[in-house]
Amino acid sequence: MTSPLPEKLVIATRASRLAMWQAEHVQALLQELYPSCQVELLSMTTRGDQILDRTLSKVGGKGLFIKELETALLDGRADLAVHSLKDVPFDLQSPFSLPVVMERGDPRDAFVSPNYTSLAELPEGAVVGTSSLRRESQIRERYPHLVVKPLRGNLDTRLGKLDRGEYDAIILAAAGLTRLQMGDRIRSYLSVEDSLPSAGQGALGIEIHESQAHLAELLAPLACAESTSRSLAERAVSRVLGGSCQVPLAAYAELEDNTIYVRALVAEPDGSRVIRAEARGPVAHAEALGEQVAKQLLDDGAREILTRLAAENDQADAQ
């Protein structure tokens, strides 16, 4: 390092069990890298954690999970914040930056149920819980006979609702279950063909105040080049499409040798129409390929869906 090592670093994190695991993971890595530096956690409850009676698409989206953490970065209570990358807005604004995307965990969605092993096994009228319009639209497309209902709360809350019989099955991110050593709850994994993941799903991102260049240098060893390239492509799709929790949008990139394969979709919430696009090219062009896929989706009809959903959401907000 060319910059002096600080005596202490403070990591801002949500107070949920999964968020704490993620922050403690980063804390341990930094403590190992810099033994003389004291690394502490600042746990916080965000608006996204507090509002549980409405879906994210109705209350402002995933950005609600990071606002309080960003306030801590602004007022100096914290030096960095650890996020699930899929919760970080694609259009992260100054004075914040995202210098590190860490090695990605399992990006797939997981099927969790006490009585069934897969979506295909569920009988007509079975109730499936999910917090995501992306998941909901893809389930409705393939299994129109199932009933999809909103599911909010942290991981333990969602599993508790399943265990009390409020749902026949729920769909969760596989990475979260694995990280909390709850992989035994997974009955099966949804392939990326069946449920295309959201941009950045399974990856952790580290956010800092953009003025703290020395922190970016200190955090650099935690970055994963492959995960960074994949997230650049996926987040480019979201950026071009103006993606949010109010839009059923998926974007997923895979890397093989020096080639990146980008897939994305935009859907009607009820799954009646799903528009897909894909592209392959050099990994050095990851961001441009993501933009290319997004523009193809717009040309193929996604613009119509996005415009109508935006108008409907504006009308709902006005009421």
| Residue type present at position 142 | R
Q: Any catalytic annotation for residue 87?
A: yes
Are 133 and 247 in contact by the 8 Å Cβ rule? The answer is yes
The whole-angstrom distance between residue 130's C-alpha and the CA centroid of its chain comes to 14
Phi-psi region of 50 (alpha: psi -120 to 50; beta: other; left: phi over 0): alpha
3-class SS of residue 202: coil
CB atoms within 10 A of CB 65: 22
In the chain, what is the greatest distance between 2 CA atoms, to the nearest angstrom? 62
What angle, rounded to 10 degrees, do the helices at 17-33 and 155-163 form? 140
Catalytic residue among 53, 75, 79, 87: 87
Whether 269 and 302 have beta carbons less than 8 Å apart is answered as no
Residues carrying an active site annotation:
87
